[in-house]
Amino acid sequence: MAGDIYDRIRALIASGAYLGGDVLPESELAARLGVSRTPIREAMRRLQAEGVIRREAYRRAVVVDVDPNEVIHIFTARASLEPIAVGMAARHRDEAFLQELRELHAGMDEAIHESEPDRRLYRDLNARFHRVIWSQGGNAFFAELVNLVARKPVVSPTFNSWTRAELMRSNRQHGDLVEALSAGDAEWAEAAMRAHLLSSRATYRRISADTPETAPRKQDWMFPDTGTGSGIGTSSGDSTAATPAKAASAR
């Protein structure tokens, strides 16, 4: 049950029900989710360990604001870790794995080419795409390490602000990854993944520069849960990033 409650609380934060700086009262969450406080406390400990919430005076749990500069560092870390993960996946590839990536890639392409790009769908499929790759490497510890780094920012300003051209570029890079993995070329896959993440980091920098700190912002999830607790073994997300999401400046 604790894993399910963790997923549901994280989803509440991601959906904008709780913003950066908001208090998360255990009693309110217990009533909202229809459970006792025990699984709430277990889930909160996990969220605190991930840096999603922090404890303040009187043990209040508060949703953490993510510093945009920290997001840049996370992109940099991912650009070092995920090439290793995709290299391992290339050496453990099988047809079922490759077919799943092809289907996710095609789904993202369809989302982009709607009359108005379906950015939420793209985000979810993108997250699954990356998690599938992490999970294929045959090293659960390393997959969880990448997951912890990539999932740290819960709130993201990016996909809602990506242009169609930027989404198309991102998905072309997914296509490069699929081709490299299909060829079993670990070196090519590693180079493609690094280029993909650094490209996404550059897009985040562009969005951050274009968005005044005082401008109202919608809230979006950088790395959405897919209902699997840690998310390992389902699929994963691209490079998006988080910005502070105060009530007064929710994106």
3 state DSSP class of 53 = strand
Q: What is the dihedral of CA 186, 128, 231, 234, to 10 degrees?
A: -80
Count how many residues are written for the chain: 251
Q: How far apart are CA 188 and CA 88, in angstroms?
A: 12
Q: Is 226 helix (H, G, I), strand (E, B) or coil?
A: coil
| Number of neighbouring beta carbons within 10 Å of residue 14 | 20
The whole-model pTM stands at 0.69
pLDDT of residue 20: 75
- In tens digits, the chain (251 residues) has pLDDT values of 667 899 899 888 876 678 778 899 999 999 999 999 999 999 999 999 888 899 987 788 998 876 667 778 889 999 999 999 999 999 999 999 999 999 999 999 999 999 999 987 898 899 899 999 999 999 999 999 998 888 766 555 456 778 999 999 999 999 999 999 999 999 999 999 999 999 999 988 887 787 655 343 444 444 544 444 444 433 344 443 333 333 333 33
How many CB atoms are closer than 10 A to CB 147? 23
Secondary structure letter of residue 35 according to DSSP: S
Query: Can you tell me the distance from the alpha carbon of 71 to that of 242, in angstroms, rounded to the nearest whole number?
Result: 6
* Paired tokens of 38: 């025990």
Encoding tokens for residue 55?
């404890």
